[in-house]
Structure 1
Amino acid sequence: MTSERKRKTGTRRAVLANEIAEAIRLRLFRPGEWLRQIDLEERFQATRFDVRSALDELAVRKTIEHVPNRGYRVAEIDLKTYGEILAVRVMLETAAAEAAAARIDAAAIARLDELAAHFSSAVLTGSRTEQSEINRAFHRLMYSFCGNAVLQETIWALRDRGRGSRITVWSSHEALLRSDREHHAMMAALRARDAAGLAALVAAHVAKGDPASPPVEPD
């Protein structure tokens, strides 16, 4: 196989793996649910080879798990593991936020302001899918300025892995309102280039999903 063909194969695998992970994140597939390759081929209009390659990649990421002689299913994690994932996310996302505060430009801050405003509107009238998409776009854009692609990749892999918990995102309207307030507080810290303040806000934003804490919902 030529290097160009390998590159294209790797790209197709990564794109499809991300699409399946997105479906898991949106709860189109639930924790513990078995994934039938033929169904995935039809849903994502992909070849059997590409689906199998994507599933193998997601198994490496621990978004799903491979059970020998049975197939693949969405990973299902216990509360202890979920709490450990959140603890690592706090460390990584605060580091990303702190670095981003020093690097982010005015155009990105303006775009983040727009996303924060869109989230505020979605809290009132949007669907859970829309709220989740805007929230993800907000954090992805902010962390994209951390200057470390591996750090970003690890953050999103952990976020996706955390979907293996049966904890439901934003179980109450108050949880949504809290996230909304925190987004706007983060924007104030970014505009002030307050790296330490932003890191503290992000730490609280992520850690509120700790199962050992009061039962509020993580982003």
Structure 2
Amino acid sequence: MEQAGPRSAYGSTGVGIPDLRTGTVRVPAQPQAADVDRERGVATPGAAAALGAPGQAATSGAEAPAVGAAEVRGEHTHSEAPVPRPRAESARPVVQRASVRGQILDALRAALVAGELTPGAVYSAPVLGERFGVSATPVREAMQQLALEGAVEVVPNRGFRVVERGTRELAELAEIRALIEVPVMLRLARTVPAARWAELRPLSDATVRAASLGCRATYAESDRVFHRAILALAGNSQLVRTADDLHRRAQWPLVGGPATRGRADLVADAAEHTALLEALVAQDLPVVQSLLREHFAGA
């Protein structure tokens, strides 16, 4: 299963979240990296200290994670394409500094799932920061989190490269998810009352609505929410956290593959959610087991 105001499907408001009408998150093509701030002779608040500019103190309100000096000073961006800013009629919402890092992380995750961040491409924090209208510091912090999750890797003096992965890794993730989730769901199917399953219908319906938009990033989030809600009934937070991490990784794009799944694929996937929930409500264990195995086999 794949994976919305003032609050988005990603749990935050603010910049970079995909437009539900268009289903896109625009991230500039960046063949190489460079230091935009230094080249222009302008030091942005918070970014100067993170980049090691002398005499500048960080004003972002949060200290950047400790990384190597070469990684934070040399993000050269002289050859990167300029990033267009939003037009006045679609200006960015005001971002609260306390939550800016989380909003940028949500936006980058959405861009990754939507295929806006290309596998193998290198992206620099200053240029992405310009795109989002913030300093390089929260972008770098968000990218460091993505590096911990395995979505990107640090490229010294340049920025962050999106990981390249093939169909074998995707199949391995699907197998592990099935080994974890199928037995748990079958156990829950035998013990959870039908009325409790019926309470999850709004989440199942949300995946259907998200699929109809044709936006993979929006669908991916609703898909994970549905799976988390089912697994949460087991009362094991470690299980939920582990399964959600595997689920998120399974949504990253493949190298050389299509950036997004088509609307028809998403609609079909969401329909499986509906069928599964109906079988759980009816406590039809053979159908539940069959649907689960088919669902993970096609993940």
Q: In the alignment, what sits opposite 2:294?
A: 204
Alpha carbons 1:99, 1:147 under 8 Å: kept: no
Q: In the alignment, what sits opposite 1:185?
A: 275
Pairing 1:107-122 to 2, within 5 Å after superposition:
109-110=198-199, 112-120=200-208
**Aligned partner of 1:109: which letter?**
A
TM-score (norm 1): 0.70
Give per-residue Cα distances to partners, 1:73-123, cap 9 Å, x unaligned.
Answer: 22110222222122112222324534654458846633x323333444555
Please give the alpha-carbon distance, in whole angstroms, between the structure 1 residues aligned to 2:203 and 2:213: 13
Please give the alpha-carbon distance, in whole angstroms, between the structure 1 residues aligned to 2:198 and 2:166: 37
Please give the alpha-carbon distance, in whole angstroms, between the structure 2 residues aligned to 1:170 and 1:97: 26
SS at match of 1:72: strand
Pairing 1:37-56 to 2, within 5 Å after superposition:
37-44=125-132, 46-56=134-144
Match of residue 152, structure 2, among 30, 45, 64 = 64
**Aligned partner of 1:126: which letter?**
L
Q: In the alignment, what sits opposite 1:93?
A: 181
TM-score (norm 2): 0.54
Q: In the alignment, what sits opposite 2:214?
A: 127
- Shift, 1:72, TM fit: 0.7
SS at match of 1:65: strand
Alignment gaps of 5+ in structure 1: 209-217
Alignment gaps of 5+ in structure 2: 1-60, 66-97
SS at match of 2:154: strand
Please give the alpha-carbon distance, in whole angstroms, between the structure 2 residues aligned to 1:132 and 1:66: 25
Alpha carbons 1:89, 1:155 under 8 Å: kept: yes
Please give the alpha-carbon distance, in whole angstroms, between the structure 1 residues aligned to 2:238 and 2:133: 30
Hey, which of these two has a bigger chunk of helix by percent?
1
SS at match of 1:146: coil
Alpha carbons 1:79, 1:165 under 8 Å: kept: yes
Percent sequence identity over matched residues? Answer: 26
**Aligned partner of 1:49: which letter?**
T
Alpha carbons 1:41, 1:47 under 8 Å: kept: yes
The higher radius of gyration belongs to: 2
| Alignment CA distance shift 1:122-1:90 (3 Å) | same
Match of residue 237, structure 2, among 149, 152, 160 = 149
Alpha carbons 1:120, 1:180 under 8 Å: kept: yes
| Alignment CA distance shift 1:203-1:133 (3 Å) | same
Alpha carbons 1:122, 1:131 under 8 Å: kept: yes
Please give the root-mean-square deviation of Cα atoms over the aligned residues, in Å.
Answer: 3.5
**Aligned partner of 2:254: which letter?**
S
Give per-residue Cα distances to partners, 1:8-36, cap 9 Å, x unaligned.
Answer: x9x96566434422321122222223222
| Alignment CA distance shift 1:73-1:109 (3 Å) | farther
